[in-house]
């Protein structure tokens, strides 16, 4: 498989009254063609910032300090606005976090499809639009006859999320990026959306990148998982190895916390402490204050993301300094 997207040293911050929030601090990862990549981490770890920086959708107080997002050899972050607009949606589509709220309550669903083609200067006539919109709605198992003439408030949360996925698929993108596609949905609807994304991936041979705070959803859907902690990727590994043989102490902690849902409560092993403030993150490895294996070097030097075995990548001095690897 080829690398379709290569993210290199992405650094993004937010300017706030108190200072600078270092939300994405040197993010690098490759996305293979036709693969599913999950970006996983706790709330406020910087997952959305990575997606927003990659898709040039940072809010007004966000600043991209450096980095590249290479897509088919072009740096998306260096493209002129017009050139980027041509790629966005037609080749790379985004369903942002909480996008359901972006559906205009006064517009029928058909008008949202119409707006999308107008925004991207596509000249379909009304019949073509209905045909394409219906095709995409059927793909997400919605009845076009009922949905196209509905207002958003007439649809459930799960239906709205499926409408958003259908809208994102309208121009047949090669890459679909979804930020928390299952949050704010009940457990059964979450499972339904995950199943649907699996089917779409198979049917359309599309490349998926999605953000979730739920590692169980990543396990279900992803081929590769990027584990984020406090604005850094601490581990980038195949989903199989993340679960079978996680490398980073933080990944192990995350896995310990999902055990609690499925198994014996006495096996809960929460990670001690709390995630740091990204205004004043810890020196060296940002995880060191919570890590039971922290060494002197961890307080001083940020560990680089290194490739260890079978393409697995980890940012931890236990691996880069030849220390204990059985942490």
Ligand X SMILES: Nc1ncnc2c1ncn2[C@@H]1O[C@H](COP(=O)(O)OP(=O)(O)OP(=O)(O)O)[C@@H](O)[C@H]1O
> In the bound complex, what is the minimum distance in angstroms from residue 59's beta carbon to ligand X?
4
Q: Which is nearer to ligand X, 47 or 317 (CB)?
A: 47
Say if residue 78 is exposed, middle or buried (CB neighbours under 10 Å; 0-12, 13-18, 19+): exposed
Q: Which is nearer to ligand X, 45 or 100 (CB)?
A: 45
21 touches ligand X (CB under 6 A) = yes
Angle between the N-to-C axes of helices 126-139 and 157-169, in degrees from 0 to 180, rounded to the nearest 10: 120
Q: Which is nearer to ligand X, 289 or 323 (CB)?
A: 289
Residues 254 and 269: beta-carbon distance below 8 Å: no
Say if residue 105 is exposed, middle or buried (CB neighbours under 10 Å; 0-12, 13-18, 19+): exposed
Q: Quick one: which segment of 44-52, 111-119, 266-274, 287-295 binds ligand X (CB under 6 A)?
A: 44-52
Residues of this chain, 271-310, that bind ligand X according to CB under 6 A: 278
> In the bound complex, what is the minimum distance in angstroms from residue 286's beta carbon to ligand X?
12
> In the bound complex, what is the minimum distance in angstroms from residue 15's beta carbon to ligand X?
8
Q: Which is nearer to ligand X, 27 or 133 (CB)?
A: 27
- Per-position x/- string for 140-179, each x denoting binding to ligand X as judged by CB under 6 A, each - no binding: ----------------------------------------
> In the bound complex, what is the minimum distance in angstroms from residue 141's beta carbon to ligand X?
27
Q: Quick one: which segment of 15-23, 71-79, 126-134, 311-319 binds ligand X (CB under 6 A)?
A: 15-23
By CB under 6 A, name the one of 4, 23, 175, 316 that touches ligand X.
Answer: 23
Residues 203 and 16: beta-carbon distance below 8 Å: no
Residues of this chain, 232-251, that bind ligand X according to CB under 6 A: none
Measure the CA–CA gap between 197 and 208, rounded to whole angstroms. Answer: 9
Residues of this chain, 45-104, that bind ligand X according to CB under 6 A: 45-49, 59, 61-62, 97
Provide the binding-site residues for ligand X, judged by CB under 6 A.
14, 16, 21, 23, 41, 43-49, 59, 61-62, 97, 213, 278
């Amino acid at each position: 498989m080829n690398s379709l997207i290569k993210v290199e040293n992405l650094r993004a911050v937010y300017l706030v009254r108190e200072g600078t929030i270092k939300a994405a601090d040197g993010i690098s990862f490759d996305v293979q063609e036709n693969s599913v990549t999950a970006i996983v981490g706790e709330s406020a770890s910087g997952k959305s910032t990575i997606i927003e920086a990659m898709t040039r959708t940072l809010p007004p107080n966000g600043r991209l300090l450096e980095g590249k997002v290479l897509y088919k050899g072009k740096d998306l972050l260096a493209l002129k606005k017009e050139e980027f607009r041509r790629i966005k949606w037609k080749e790379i589509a985004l369903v942002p976090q909480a996008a359901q709220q972006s559906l205009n309550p006064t517009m029928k669903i058909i008008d949202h499809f119409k707006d999308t083609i107008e925004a991207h200067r596509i000249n379909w006539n009304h019949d073509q639009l209905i045909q394409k919109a219906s095709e995409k709605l059927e793909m997400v198992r919605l009845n076009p006859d009922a949905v196209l003439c509905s207002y958003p408030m007439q649809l459930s949360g799960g239906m709205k999320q499926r409408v958003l996925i259908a809208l994102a698929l309208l121009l047949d993108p090669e890459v679909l990026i979804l930020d928390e596609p299952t949050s704010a949905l009940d457990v059964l609807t979450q499972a339904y959306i995950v199943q649907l994304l699996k089917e779409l991936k198979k049917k359309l041979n599309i490349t998926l990148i999605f953000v979730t705070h739920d590692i169980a959803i990543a396990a279900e859907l992803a081929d590769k998982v990027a584990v984020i902690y406090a604005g850094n990727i601490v581990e980038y590994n195949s989903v199989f190895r993340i679960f079978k043989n996680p490398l980073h102490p933080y990944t192990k902690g995350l896995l310990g916390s999902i055990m609690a849902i499925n198994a014996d409560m006495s096996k809960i092993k929460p990670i001690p402490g709390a995630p740091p403030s990204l205004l004043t993150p810890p020196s060296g490895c940002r995880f060191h204050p919570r890590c039971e294996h922290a060494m002197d070097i961890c307080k001083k030097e940020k560990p680089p993301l290194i490739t260890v075995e079978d393409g697995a990548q980890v940012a931890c001095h236990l691996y880069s300094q030849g220390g204990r690897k059985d942490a």
